[in-house]
Amino acid sequence: MKVNVGSGNPVKVRATENVLGLIYGDVEVRGVEVESGVPDQPVGLEETVRGAVNRARRAFRDCELSVGIESGLHRVPETITGFVDLQWCAIYDGEHITLGVSAGFEYPPMVVEEVLAGREVGDVMDELTGVDELGRKRGAVSFLSGGLLDRTGNTEQCVLMAMIPRMNPSLYGLK
């Protein structure tokens, strides 16, 4: 099975390959650079999901499935910062989109303040941790969780959740 991921980020490609490999066995997963059509730092449910869906649709060429993954800050009441980071995955087969979301977590208040002032989470976290391109490696979630969950594992969550309708097609009215 050929699968395109609408990103060149190795974490997104690896997470997709890990999950789809468990489900389908032999998969060929490749990253395809596409535009998300949303700001580099999405804020809110609609913007983040739209970015994932756009990536999946734009990466669909010469493949059976395409995957779009987008992280964004979402307003959540009763949190320290008022925001939680969630990764959304959209999987497209040329006809249907299925969606899934990862476990969410809060960034430190200073990170959220910088992001709301117009910076990208990745840039702020790189400065905070001293790790260049942290999001293309172990990710902020690994740093903040003390290594108990890395970005690949967090990304695998949203890919798996997006696959649930495809794993149970008769329950979801899919072919």
What residues pair up with 4 in beta bridges, in sequence order? 30, 66
Residue type for position 59: A
Contact status, residue 64 vs residue 3, Cβ threshold 8 Å: yes
∠ CA 47-52-58, rounded to 5° = 120
Cα(23)–Cα(80) distance, rounded to whole angstroms? 38
Alpha helices in the chain (DSSP H): 10-24, 45-58, 109-116, 121-129, 140-144, 151-167, 169-172
Contacts 24+ apart (CB under 8 A), 172-175: 172/98, 174/96
Establish whether 132 is an annotated binding residue: no
Tell me if 35 is assigned to a ligand binding site.
Answer: yes
Closest CA to 73 of 81, 83, 65: 83
Question: Which residue ranges make up the annotated binding site?
Answer: 35, 62
Question: Which residue ranges make up the annotated binding site for Mg(2+)?
Answer: 35, 62
